[in-house]
Structure 1
Amino acid sequence: MEVLLKTENLETFIGQYHILQGVTFEAIRGEVTVLLGRNGAGKTTTLRTILGLSPPSRGKVFFKQKEIQELPTYKTANLGIGYVPEDQGIFPYLTVEEHFKIATKGKGDKVNERIETTLALFPDLKQFWRKQAGVLSGGQKQMLAIARAYINYNELLMIDEPSKGLAPIVVEKVMETLERMKGETTIILVEQNYLMAEYLGDRFYIIDDGKTVLSGEMKELKEHEEWRKKYLGIS
């Protein structure tokens, strides 16, 4: 097993608030690592800290065994880390095609090939290729946000709450797409929907009050109702 990304005792302040107080976890190449926890536990801040959007006051981040916590965000992204924020970051007046072109690095046949490969994973986007993103449904916007991060074949994708605000039938579609992406890229998934996390996850880390308090293989969490009840409020 290759550890693609690793954090050590991350501490992050946002203003005067000490949000992360010791977050440690590993993401294994080719797996889906799920960060779980109640609202406000620090999951989103963890992703933002890794990317450099909310730099840590203490702790380290390693990507392919190299420290990256001091890098500016654009340099971290250029290492091969894609990010799908909770709010999707979609521009309503740009077309699907324009979103792809802005996101894609390089030119020529290889770019066209990457676009076709990505559209094969997200067929709804092909149908709306020349439509403004503002007319897409919530599920289609989420697909666009994920596709935009995936298109450059980033080695790591960090995806924040992809099921948020979506109808159950749409959540199933997002789950199926992420399932097809497994193995082609490494995913760190922040997700409140436990059923999605259980379905997709290989390993889990539970963050509580800004600290990593529990970790293991997802099958272990499935077997321990007391863990789910204590840290996630579910049985």
Structure 2
Amino acid sequence: MSVQLKLDNVETYIGQYHILQGISFEVRKGEVTVLLGRNGAGKTTTLRTIMGLNPASKGTILYNDEPIQTLPTYTIAQKGIGFVPEDQGIFSELTVEENMKVAIKKDNDETKERLHYILDLFPDLKKFWKKHGGLLSGGQKQMLSIARAYVNDNDVLLIDEPSKGLAPIVVEKVMESIMQMKDKTTIVLVEQNFMMASTIGDRFYIIDDGKTVQNGPMEILKEDHDMRRKYLGIA
């Protein structure tokens, strides 16, 4: 299975703070790679660094074997990496329809097919097509945020904590949707909900104090109680 995205000893500063101090991992095509760790470990900064929002000060980021760590964010996005930020990043004053139109890069048959697919996946978006984004529920906003990133022909989606603040029944719907999307795109997922992460993840990397400290197939982490307790604080 080919490697689509690779980070090698990536370091990132935010102001004077040395947030990432050695992040290394590989993302394989067609898999869900989950980044895990305690709050403040550097998971969100890792996704933002991949997108060029927090520039890497050291190390390399390869996308399809091409270095991208010095490229501007819009160029990285144009190359086929979509980003679903933790704060969802939708336009509250625009309708669902307008949010999707703004997100679409190419208005072609393939995009229309993906739009039909995502609306079937998230029927609430179709139901509230003319409703302003700011009036949606938390779960609907999350669905819209994922849909905006997925509607374009992105080879890799970076999704930051999609279950945050959502009711369990909505978390299940988001989880089912991501599991279906993995058949069509590669996903890098940051997620604190271990049930969700362990259900949909193929491979895990644990980040601790800005460094990658453990990794492997998700089945290993499911069985290793000591590792989960030490790095994630869960039994």
Aligned to 2:113: 113
Structure-2 separation of matches of 1:17 and 1:150: 33
Relative to the length of structure 2, the TM-score reads 0.98
Structure-2 separation of matches of 1:108 and 1:219: 40
| Counterpart residue identity of residue 114, structure 1 | R
Q: Does 1:184 align with 2:181?
A: no
Aligned to 1:50: 50
Q: How does 1:165-176 map to 2 (within 5 A)?
A: 165-176=165-176
Equivalent pairs counted in the alignment come to: 235
Q: Cα offset for 1:123?
A: 1.2
Could you give the per-residue CA deviations for residues 171-225 of structure 1, whole angstroms, max 9, x where no partner exists? 1111111111112100000001111100010000000000000000000001100
Q: Does 1:104 align with 2:104?
A: yes
Q: Does 1:91 align with 2:91?
A: yes
Which range is displaced more, 47-56 or 110-119? 110-119
CA distance 1:149–1:106, shift in 2 (3 Å): same
| Counterpart residue identity of residue 72, structure 2 | P
Q: Cα offset for 1:111?
A: 3.8
Unaligned runs of 5+ in 1: none
Q: Does 1:10 align with 2:19?
A: no
Q: How does 1:144-163 map to 2 (within 5 A)?
A: 144-163=144-163
Specify the SS of the correspondent of 1:21: strand
Aligned to 1:230: 230
CA distance 1:227–1:110, shift in 2 (3 Å): closer
Q: Cα offset for 1:113?
A: 2.9
Could you give the per-residue CA deviations for residues 137-188 of structure 1, whole angstroms, max 9, x where no partner exists? 1000000000000001310000000000111111111111111111210000
Identity %: 66
- The answer to whether the 8 Å contact 2:106/2:152 transfers is no
| Counterpart residue identity of residue 98, structure 1 | E
Aligned to 2:38: 38
- The answer to whether the 8 Å contact 2:12/2:58 transfers is yes
Could you give the per-residue CA deviations for residues 56-90 of structure 1, whole angstroms, max 9, x where no partner exists? 11000000011010100000000000000000011
Which range is displaced more, 87-96 or 99-108? 99-108
| Counterpart residue identity of residue 203, structure 1 | R
Q: Cα offset for 1:109?
A: 4.2
Specify the SS of the correspondent of 1:189: strand
Unaligned runs of 5+ in 2: none
Could you give the per-residue CA deviations for residues 6-40 of structure 1, whole angstroms, max 9, x where no partner exists? 00000000000000000000100000000000000
Relative to the length of structure 1, the TM-score reads 0.98
